[in-house]
Amino acid sequence: MTESIFQDKKLPIYNKEENEVVLVKVPPSTLQLKVCSSRNLLEKNVKNISMKIEQVVDKWIGIENKVEKITKELVPSNGEIISGGLYVMIAGMAGLILTRKRSFLIRFTTPIFISLAASTIFLPETHRNFRNIMWKYKQNYFQ
């Protein structure tokens, strides 16, 4: 007897009747239009900024590669630069000490010339490489 009661009241899983879906076209509000235009403008500006950043990074990488190339050309083949460089710096400081009571021009130029003279003695290969790089630079940019 209980089985018959439950069988009569058993509901189907799916609805038998299909309701028709009605789409209503609603025009966008002014707020939606403003948000859309602002978003498009922001997206355009972000793309422009990212392109500028990429250009700056590419330029920086180019400069970095040039400096690396020049440094590889400058360093001597045997790689000993520290001891000779130390002597060159000491010679430059000695030139500064020797000219401390002279005029500004002499005080400024003497350590540079003494360091260049010391580099020919203590760092001959590096000095030659530096001269060659400066010669290439002069030929490329001043003629």
pLDDT tens digits, 1-33: 555 555 566 666 776 677 788 889 999 999 999
64 in a structural domain: no
**68 within 8 A of 86, measured Cβ to Cβ:** no
96 in a structural domain: yes
45 in a structural domain: no
Please report the pLDDT score of residue 92 as a whole number: 94
How much is the average pLDDT of 51-66?
Answer: 97
112 in a structural domain: yes
Q: Which of 21, 133, 35, 19 is nearest to 75 (CA)?
A: 133
108 in a structural domain: yes
57 in a structural domain: no
**129 within 8 A of 76, measured Cβ to Cβ:** yes
Predicted model pTM: 0.54
**Separation of alpha carbons 27 and 111, rounded Å:** 79
pLDDT tens digits, 66-103: 999 988 888 887 777 888 889 999 999 999 999 988 89
Please report the pLDDT score of residue 73 as a whole number: 85
Task: Name the average pLDDT for the chain.
Answer: 88
60 in a structural domain: no
**Domain, as residue range, for 101:** 82-143
Domain count, the chain: 1
41 in a structural domain: no
Within 10 angstroms of residue 143's Cβ, the number of other Cβ atoms is 5
Lowest mean pLDDT of 14-18, 42-46, 119-123, name the range: 14-18
